[in-house]
Structure 1
Amino acid sequence: MVWHNRELRASAGLALMLVIAISFGGGGRSAPLANLIVQLAALLALAVSIANLREFLLAVPRGLVVLIAISMAIPMVQSIPLPPTVWTALPGRELVSESLALIDASGTWMPFSVDPSLSLLAFIGLVAPLTVLVLAAPYRAQQIRAGLLALLGGALVCLFIGSVQFASGGDALDFYAGGSVNRLAGTFANHNTAGIFFVILLCLLVSAQKDWFPSPFVNLGPRIALGLVFLIGVILSQSRSSIALLLFPALVLVWRLYCAHTLMKWSRRSLALASGSGALAIAMVALLTFSGGRGAQSIERFESLEDLRPAIWADGLVSADRFWPVGSGMGTFDDVFQLDESLEHVTPRRAGRAHNDYLEIAIESGVLGLAMVLGWVAYLGSLTWRSLRSRSDLLPLGASAGLACIALQSVVDYPLRNQAMLCVAAFLVVILVSGVSDVRGKGASRG
């Protein structure tokens, strides 16, 4: 009974944490007060979940714990002061050294990062996804079901806010400046992040068996309707990368049909409902695309693939070379990029991000950061390969598809540079680990 009560509290805390993150954490570094709400909620949840923290350390696969520890250690270590003989020998510190010499402070101890406050901020930003991983331990069915319910609720809230933004022309519920009133963003500052969020939900929706969902979504009809709503959300986001990544939920659906031989097992009524829903989906997508509204604008964006990204990447490679192989410190891209931005690429707007998270990690953390990324790819890739052996529960495969979408969008954007998507990604990791480790009924095995 004690375990049951603690599991209920942890499930409720996990759901609440995800809802808070999606509601307030979609703004990235440009929304410090909203991020503070998410981070304070995470710290409070950790403070009252010591038992779950112990469960996380003891029951969750060892490889996952090590990767999390390394990811959180990098920005923390970068903030530790070093003697002048050490930090002045690091690549790219010449301007810092010259600046200190002007005020006769050459002997000052300086940290690894060129701006330790930003690196500490990057460390604090990892507390919320860590909380999701801790509250879900040891990754049983009850926690996963609670998290799925929270994601569905958060997505509907995001769509509602986006619809209000559309209806008011951006005058109502516009939380973040700089967005476009023609693109659905909802609770996110970046329409690309909103788009990938709905793509991830589609991956989970088409892979999950009906017993994962609460009423009324146990029935096929409401789940298909919900999928259509998420599909519309992706299209209205006008995110080219997200629309292209709709291939992943489609592939997961095909794999599910193949594994379960669904067409042979369905009743005539279910087959007719699925066929009708499919036809309705195609009709709605066609209507949105060719009716001359915002759906058509989404497709029109593919007519011109030219933007400022190649110029940012070219200058970003120069920054990466300047600080290679150690990096400039997590969170410092926007500051150090100004040193190497070419005059012919300068515009009234700042780049802000590298629009390629792998390049940004190379600039900020050098070879160690890229090694960390490879570690995550190898670990999650191995779990995905093992999840393919299961033909009965494809939810882990759907989570893996969602993580793959994040990884691919990171080539042209920065989906994980906000608290909301960090928490969503952490929950996807929970689902993937749970399915492979068979922890839903017996507790996690070490891996």
Structure 2
Amino acid sequence: MLNESLELIGRSGAWYPISLAPARTFIAFLSLIPVFAVFVLSWDLKRHEWGRALRGLVVFSVAMVLLGGLQMLTDNKALIFYPRERVRTDYLYGPFANHNSTGLYYVLALALLFAIGGKLRVRTITTTDLWSQWWVQVSVALLLVIAVVLTQSRSSMGVLFVVAGTGALGEISRRNMSAKKKALILVSVGVLSAASIFVLQGSSRFSEGLGRFDNLEDVRPAIWTDTVSSAERYWPIGSGIASFPEVFEVDEALENVWAFHAGRAHNDYLEIAQEGGIVGLMLVLAWIVWFVLSIIRTWNGEQRWHGLAAASGVAAVVLQSFVDYPLRNQAILCLGAVLVGFLARTAKGMMKREGEMTIARF
């Protein structure tokens, strides 16, 4: 197919050894530079610096929620960063163009919030930290959960349970209290959450967010089917990283053509198979092995629940990648690098000793 196309434009001798879309592949390579920079810089952070970084990211996420709220008050007609995109009046966007990216960002912010909680040994003097107060953590957590629902992203709401469940277990386990009191707290949080949902049901926007699960009709299965066909065409080498938008339409079945251009496969694993071939899938497998081993090491370390909170955020990205393309978003990619860096630090036990240590809030 490619050779025939090149012959028609008089370039039958053209050579594409790396990618069928070299310009897109080069841009994809450049997008990794800030990600590696974030990972390297975060790797060298000390524990009290980690605390400041995570708190800063959570505060920024709260500011994003407030921005999204102001946008929704104007029916998303003002303060929108990407007005030329298909903007829905009932979605919470914030600074993103895609409501799925917005929802996942808030889910990852929730994972960062849980990573802040609890006690760690750090090289600081014990001080009263506002972030260690349970009511602050619960308030911010509820705000982020509500924001996820208002984005109306079904995939983000789905992975929310992974992060929320891990974080709740971690917070309870870290508290020095009796089992009866822990059970009482769990019941209280459950009742408070149910009451909040009941009250918010009166809001049409919140109800619309939860109501999206009533209609599961989607074009994704058709795109996945055609992506498999495209992957088979270029197997085992692949068409080149980031080349999907350029080559997909060749294998798109006529009965699956819809009003919009499918710029992504809406399944990162299928898209990696189509673009990267067997090498891309082997890299994915290697990442999964590293992720599982890191969780095992973190579980045996001193900062178990801090590391698992970060791991839950990484797991959220892994799961949403089955129905979307979270790592194709630069902000999500950089935030994922922070979570991976934090998980790697806790997995290797590199937070155990940094000079003189006293008990303090993280």
Name the TM-score class by shorter chain.
0.7 to 0.9
Structure 1's unaligned 5+ residue stretches are 1-93
Rounded Cα–Cα distance in structure 2 between residues aligned with 1:190 and 1:130: 24
SS at match of 1:440: coil
Residue 116 of structure 1, aligned match among 22, 29, 40: 22
Tell whether 2:106 aligns with 1:195: no
Q: Distance in 2 between matches of 1:250 and 1:205?
A: 10
Pick one of 231, 243, 252 that aligns with 2:145.
231
User: What letter matches 1:339 in structure 2?
Assistant: V
Match of 1:216 in 2: 130
The Cα offsets for residues 266-295 of structure 1, whole Å up to 9 and x where unpaired, read as 9x8x9988865553332112222x325111
Change (3 A) 1:161 1:258: closer
Name the structure 2 match of 1:373. Answer: 284
Mean alpha-carbon deviation: is it higher for 109-118 or for 312-321?
A: 109-118
- 2:67 counterpart residue number: 161
Q: Does 1:174 align with 2:80?
A: yes
TM-score when normalising by structure 1? 0.72
CA distance in 1, matches of 2:159, 2:11: 51
Counterpart of 1:12 in structure 2 is none
- The aligned residue for residue 334 of structure 2 is 423
Q: Measured at CA, do residues 240 and 412 of structure 1 come closer, stay the same or move farther in structure 2, by a change above 3 Å?
A: same
Range with bigger deviation, 156-165 or 362-371: 156-165
Partner amino acid for 1:137? Answer: W
Pair 128,209 (structure 1): closer, same or farther in 2 beyond 3 Å: same
Query: For residues 107-148 of structure 1, what are the alpha-carbon distances to aligned partners after superposition, in whole Å with 9 as ceiling and x for unaligned?
Result: 334342111000001101111111101112334313322320
Q: One-letter code of the match for 1:286?
A: F
Q: How does 1:91-110 map to 2 (within 5 A)?
A: 94-95=1-2, 97-110=3-16
Determine if contact 2:94/2:102 at 8 Å carries over to the other structure: yes
8 Å CA contact 1:399, 1:432 repeated in 2: yes
Q: Which residue of 2 aligns with 1:320?
A: 231
Letter in 1 for 2:275: E
Query: Is 1:355–2:240 an aligned residue pair?
Result: no
Q: 1 CA distance for matches of 2:215 and 2:183?
A: 40
SS of match in other structure, 1:396: helix
C-alpha RMSD over aligned residues: 2.5
Q: Distance in 1 between matches of 2:198 and 2:22?
A: 50
Q: Secondary structure at the match of 2:77?
A: coil
Equivalent in 335, 341, 346 of residue 246 of structure 2: 335
Gaps of 5+ in 2: 121-126, 355-362
The 5-angstrom pairing of residues 236-247 of structure 1 reads 236-247=150-161
Aligned counterparts, 1:54-133, within 5 A: 94-95=1-2, 97-133=3-39
Corresponding residue for residue 198 of structure 2: 286
Greater Cα offset, 136-145 or 250-259? 250-259
TM-score normalized by structure 2? 0.88
Supply the distance in 2 between the matched residues of 1:323 and 1:179 (Cα, whole angstroms): 35
Deviation for aligned residue 1:196: 1.6
Contact 1:356 1:410 (8 Å CA) reproduced: yes
Q: Secondary structure at the match of 2:178?
A: helix
